[in-house]
Amino acid sequence: MPLALSFAVLAQGGETPLLLMDPTADEEAACRSSLTLVLDVDTGDGADAERCAAAQLLVHKPGGAPLPQELLIEAIAAARKRATRLLPLLEGR
């Protein structure tokens, strides 16, 4: 099942960028960059959510400030974790 998860990147001046998952419209407007990750989440034979696979299908980053590689890796890890928690809710388990 494909799931899209959005992020905003917030930072002021030389501060370390902060990754915000599922930002509101106001938070997105204040961010310096945004990105959406689409993952294909599959539990296979109904295994528990913690062991499900989440394959990355798409990274969409429309403009904004450049995204450091470390922040992209952090976003992918957070999206995988969130996707595995959302899947049982979406499937009614």
Distance, first Cα to last Cα, the chain:
15
Higher pLDDT, 16 or 3: 3
Domains in the chain with CATH codes: 2-90 (3.30.230.70)
Q: What's the confidence (pLDDT) of residue 49?
A: 46
For 48-93, the pLDDT digits (tens) are: 545 556 677 889 998 888 888 899 999 999 998 898 888 888 877 6
1-10, 13-22, 72-81, range with the lowest pLDDT: 13-22
Alpha carbons 26 and 46: distance in angstroms, whole number:
38
Residue 37 pairs in a beta bridge with: 5, 59
Are 52 and 85 a contacting pair, CB within 8 Å? Answer: no
